[in-house]
Amino acid sequence: MSSRSHPAVHPLDIEFPQLTEGAAADNGGLPDDRVRMKDIQGMPGTPANLALRLFQFAFAAISVAVMAATSDFPSVTAFRYLVAALSLQCLWSLSLAMIDIYALLVKRCLTNPRIVALFTIGDGITSTLTFAAACASAGITVLIGNDFNNCSQNHCTRFETSTAMAFVCWFAVSPSFFLNFWYLASR
């Protein structure tokens, strides 16, 4: 005989509760006392994500409104690009805020990988456009204000305010993108 131990399988005499057809259909075949992970704040369908979306929308809308209030913004391509990019950001953030409101009202979880992938791609595109537009506008604003010393004839304060709001909007978009991207990468 050898001195090695041999694994043994000992069946347990535990009875598992049987699911009724109604309970199995309602819960996707899972028992009623299942354990779910809590939603991470900032993920789609959470109050924190709704707050981020509303901040994104507000800062983008303020930036567009301030820039559009100037009479000479169409003469500079970077400023037109800023208005276009942040208008797209407004639409994207507002539509996702409405989806978050709906998810919170009906208490639905928005962690389907396809939905999160769509949100991640959209956030990545809009944040890249927003950051590029803010950087381009900042460059033109510095050129007009510091290099040409031409603020007396232009609306430098409004250009700077609009550019600053674009950067703040980008800072609000970044957590949404990174949280969604982290969720996809961790699956």
Residue 17 has pLDDT above 80, yes or no: no
- Cβ neighbors of 80 (< 8 A, separation 6 or more) are 73, 74
Residue 14 has pLDDT above 70, yes or no: no
Angstrom distances, CA of residue 60 to CA of 28, 64, 100, 115, 179? 41, 6, 18, 24, 20
Angstrom distances, CA of residue 126 to CA of 71, 120, 143, 161? 26, 10, 26, 20
pLDDT digits 0-9 by tens, 119-164? 999 999 999 999 999 999 999 999 998 888 888 788 889 999 999 9
Which one is predicted more confidently, 27 or 168? 168
Residue 8 has pLDDT above 80, yes or no: no
Sequence spans of domains, the chain = 43-186
% the chain with pLDDT above 90? 61
Q: What is the pLDDT of residue 34?
A: 43
Q: Confirm if 39 and 45 have CB atoms less than 8 A apart.
A: yes
Residue 23 has pLDDT above 80, yes or no: no
The predicted model gives 42-68 an average pLDDT of 95
pLDDT band (50, 70, 90) for residue 110? confident
pLDDT digits 0-9 by tens, 159-179? 999 999 999 999 999 999 999
Please give the torsion angle defined by the CA atoms of residues 19, 24, 26 and 29, in that order, rounded to the nearest 10 degrees: 130
